[in-house]
Structure 1
Amino acid sequence: MKQLVIAIVLSLGSSLSLAKDLTGVWELVSGNYVDGSGKLVDYKELDMKALKVITDSHFSFTSMKGGTFWASGTGTYALKDGQYIETLRYNSFGEKAGAIFAFTTQVEDTTWTNERWEDGKRVEYEVWQRIE
């Protein structure tokens, strides 16, 4: 029983530590995603720019393709077992409120890396740099 309590405390401490590491303002550095036709699209090809703001419990992002608005979204997030999990509340890209996006996540110094997988295939990869 004592080992279980220690494991739970360590797990909570790890998630809380990661949440503190994420709090701030992040700028998209690079990444890619799989489009509707299954093609891998590099964000640099799209001249994609984005900012993501993370608080203790919420996220918000806005992205631009070249000089044109691309997408925005906001909602809550959770950290669990090495995953960053967004639950959308509002967005500009047609997802219903409550849609969930789960990413394998890692923070090293001022770099935050996310990967999203569907059916064993990576469908999105993001590298963010802390700017504040």
Structure 2
Amino acid sequence: MHYKKLLLTFSLFCLVDAQANPLLGTWQFIEGKYATDNGYVTAKSPNLTSVKVISDTHFSYITQQNGNFLYAGGGPYKIDKTHFYETFAYGNVPSLLGKTMAFSYKIEGQLWHHTLHENGKLVESEIWEKVDSKN
């Protein structure tokens, strides 16, 4: 009987944990705004395409521009109610390797909005759309 109670408790914990992380799954890039030395630039799908996968412990993404490879990266992450913390462990952008970025985020239906501010300045703002509906 103790085994069944333990199994039920563990199952409920996993269910609550999965529901607590709305980012689990596969996301496709919709649009973004990025700071440059000369102001801001924007990017939109389909010229810029990217897929980001969020597992229980890691994120990974690959980005193309006009069908040509541009970026790839990933690593571990943490999440709380208002922030998504990405730590770049691998990828083809050397300046990001080892860096942790704290994005504020919100989910609206199937859309994930996230923004990155550094020293009070907007660095990046993106919108992603959920591809799968299993999570």
TM-score (norm 1): 0.80
TM-score (norm 2): 0.78
Residue in 2 that maps onto 1:99: 99
Residue in 2 that maps onto 1:67: 67
List alignment gaps of at least 5 residues for structure 1: 1-13
Q: Map Cα deviations across residues 22-50 of structure 1 (whole Å, 9 max, x no partner).
A: 11100001111012x24201013992110
**Preserved contact between residue 29 and residue 45 of structure 2 (Cα < 8 Å):** no
Residue in 2 that maps onto 1:28: 29
Residue in 1 that maps onto 2:4: none
- Counterpart of 2:94 in 1: which secondary structure? coil
List alignment gaps of at least 5 residues for structure 2: 1-15
State the Cα RMSD in Å: 2.1
Q: How far off is 1:15 after superposition?
A: 8.0
1:130 and 2:110 matched: no
Aligned length: 117
Q: Map Cα deviations across residues 42-76 of structure 1 (whole Å, 9 max, x no partner).
A: 01399211000000110000011112111111101
**Preserved contact between residue 18 and residue 107 of structure 1 (Cα < 8 Å):** no
Letter in 1 for 2:92: S
Larger Rg, first or second structure (1 or 2): 2
Question: How much identity, in percent, do the aligned residues show?
Answer: 29
- Counterpart of 1:126 in 2: which secondary structure? strand
